[in-house]
A and B are shown apart, each in its own frame.
Chain A
Amino acid sequence: MFHLAIKDMRFSKVKYGLIALILFLIASLVLIVSGLARGLSDDNISMLAESEATEFYVSTDSENQLDQSGFLIEDLVNDVPTEEGWQPLITHPVRFVHEGKADEKLAATMIPVDRDAKLYPGVTGGEDLTNDASLNIIVDQTMKADGVSLQDTLYDEATDLTFTVVGFTEGQTYRHTPVVYVSETVFYAEEISPNQVANTVVIFEGNDTLKASIDSILEEGEWVDKSAVIDAVPGHSSEQMSLNMMIFFLIVISVFVLAAFFYIITIQKLKQFGILKAIGAKNRFLIGSTLMQVVILSVFSLGISVLFTYSMTFILPEGMPFHFNLGTISMYSGLMFLVSILGALLSSRRIVKVDPQQAMGGAE
């Protein structure tokens, strides 16, 4: 079966090459768009997606948008120690001047943390954050694309403060900006935002008594889970929806295109199938070798388009939100594989219907 499939494809190189090319192009498009969707999503919400926080207390009228939500947490800090399992989360937008480098300002989201707090992801390079009053920051590694390196200084006009980059972290972006972690000590000492204000309060595991006591102190808010907060990040849902829609239609199109191609090839070979049946080949064998061809073609084309998509990570400019995620890529390649098998199966009905008797009595 395998050899017959291969010999046929080797003989009709152009025909099968064309299908392989089309499958490759469509699959690459699907994979690249999915990489883009993933990259955009990461760029917008990875700080939340990676966070260990499970539930967020947000203002009732904020529509779950962290930037629209805010609480005075002075009473809460006094009455319920954070050791009970909650932490305040402040997302403070800043625009840095990269001293001695580019003229344009670098937008970022500053988050004050205690280096031992669960909200702090730690560093992947450089030095870790300290809890003292030094103006050190840990920045997401996407800032490297903007030319930021260790020991660079970033100046914030709004507060007239100059920070030193001491470490990098990764997977920490929010609203298409890199997250910058600064120690709580500095943040409050320098009064970067009004004292004891937080956008939201987060907990890390469901705890009804804690939730109730926080609710009774802060009031005017409600507990929502992480996915609700992620969905409410401006742009996220609409970006993902339009890209997923594109992927969906690409896949629908490929079902039709591939089914049509396989159908034409099958039709062209019906006479051959009739002869083969007459001399003793069974339907199972004929459908088997047809499917075998599709499997070989798909594995080959999809393999190349995965490699091609992977090479995109090197070709595309660094700032481009494109993420080659193995999980997403395997899911969509798997889907494309199923799509081509499905397309081929549609024409196998024609193979079954071929009457071997047509072989006898001569050529029409």
Chain B
Amino acid sequence: MTLPLEVKQINKRFKDGETYIDVLKTIDFKIKKGEFVAIVGPSGSGKSTLLSIIGALLSTDEGNVLINGKSVKNLDESQRSEVRLNDIGFIFQTAELLPYLHAEDQLDLVAKLNNMDKKERKERAKALLTDVGLEKRRKHYPHQLSGGEKQRVAVARAFMNDPALILADEPTASLDEDRSHEIVSLIKQEVKAKDKAAIMVTHDESLLTYCDRVFRMKDHHLIEDK
């Protein structure tokens, strides 16, 4: 059985003037379907960098990432966007919705980019918005939604193209405590219901209870809590 995600011996350095600074060293792990994984660690430890590499937004210096068994290493920019579109669902710190589209159209857009047919798009968008509790807000524009509601739309959007892997970088950073727990339990609910793999970066230790496994960034290495 192919795993949704395999990370193999990743190293990443950034150039800082004349010298290089190591950010990631020999990162190596696998995630199975239905697993909800958390990554925690101090600020500047490389969590977003790791998520960008996994999300085919940034290249590695050494090592490899396999998404659904396919290597993203030697893909060109256009092929990487295909991978991001088909195989990965992103949830960002803030919802990052397009101001001029209502909730349903936000979902419709990513499915359209993926050439899904109209009937299927409509059905999926409706079902997902119902899952995240926004069936009554389907035609609302971002400026008509609260911060938590916007992030729910973003969660629904991430699942729209039925990706194997969900990547969430501090999805609760802009929300209060109650809202944070709602969003994370929502992500968990969808990951379990749809049998997806998910990685969430967070600073909030209280959210780790929703996760199946917890990794910590420490001195450029990723270490799993036992």
Contacts and interface: CB of A to CB of B under 8 A. Distances in A.
A binds B: yes
Interface of A: 4, 7-8, 10-12, 272, 275-282, 285, 356-357, 359-363
Contact of B101 (A7, A277, A282, A362): A7
A105 B14 CA distance: 88
B57 A280 contact: no
Nearest to A284: B78
A359 B96 contact: yes
A362 B169 contact: yes
Interface string B69-102: 0000000001001101110001011101011110
Given A4-B109, A7-B105, A281 B96 contact: no
A362 B93 contact: yes
Contact of B100 (A8, A275, A277, A280): A8
A278 B93 contact: no
Contacts of A281: 81, 85, 113
B34 interface: no
B116 interface: no
Given A7-B105, A361-B48, A279 B85 contact: yes
Contacts of B100: 7-8, 10-12
Contacts of B86: 280
Contacts of A11: 99-100, 141
B15 to A, nearest CB: 15
Given A360-B52, A361-B48, A275 B92 contact: yes
Contacts of B84: 278-280, 356
A275 B94 CA distance: 11
Nearest to A359: B92
Nearest to B161: A280
Interface of A is mostly: helix
Nearest to A6: B100
B169 A361 contact: yes
Interface string B6-48: 0000000000000000000000000000000000000000001
Contacts of A363: 93-94
B90 A362 contact: no
Nearest to B101: A7
A272 B98 contact: yes
Interface in B169-217: 169-170, 173
Interface in B105-143: 105, 109-110, 113-114, 141
Nearest to B163: A280
Nearest to B85: A280
Contacts of A285: 113
B55 interface: yes
A269 B179 CA distance: 28
B145 interface: no
A272 B141 CA distance: 16
| Most chain A C-beta atoms within 10 Å of own C-beta, residue among B98, B99, B110 | B98
Given A4-B109, A360-B57, A280 B114 contact: yes
A4 B111 CA distance: 13
Contacts of A282: 78, 81
A363 B174 CA distance: 10
| Most chain B C-beta atoms within 10 Å of own C-beta, residue among A7, A12, A280, A281 | A280
Nearest to A7: B100
Contacts of A360: 48, 51-52, 55, 57, 90, 92, 169
Interface in B51-70: 51-52, 55, 57-58
A280 B169 contact: no
Nearest to B50: A360
A293 B223 CA distance: 49
A289 B48 CA distance: 30
Given A278-B84, A279-B85, 4 more contacts: A278-B57, A280-B161, A282-B78, A362-B48
A357 B84 CA distance: 12
Given A360-B55, A362-B48, A279 B90 contact: yes
Contact of B110 (A277, A280, A356): A280
Nearest to A352: B77
A57 B86 CA distance: 77
Contact of A278 (B49, B90, B99): B90
24 contacts: A7-B105, A8-B98, A11-B99, A11-B100, A12-B100, A275-B92, A278-B55, A278-B84, A278-B90, A279-B90, A279-B110, A280-B82, A280-B84, A280-B85, A280-B110, A280-B113, A281-B85, A285-B113, A356-B81, A359-B57, A360-B90, A361-B49, A362-B93, A363-B93
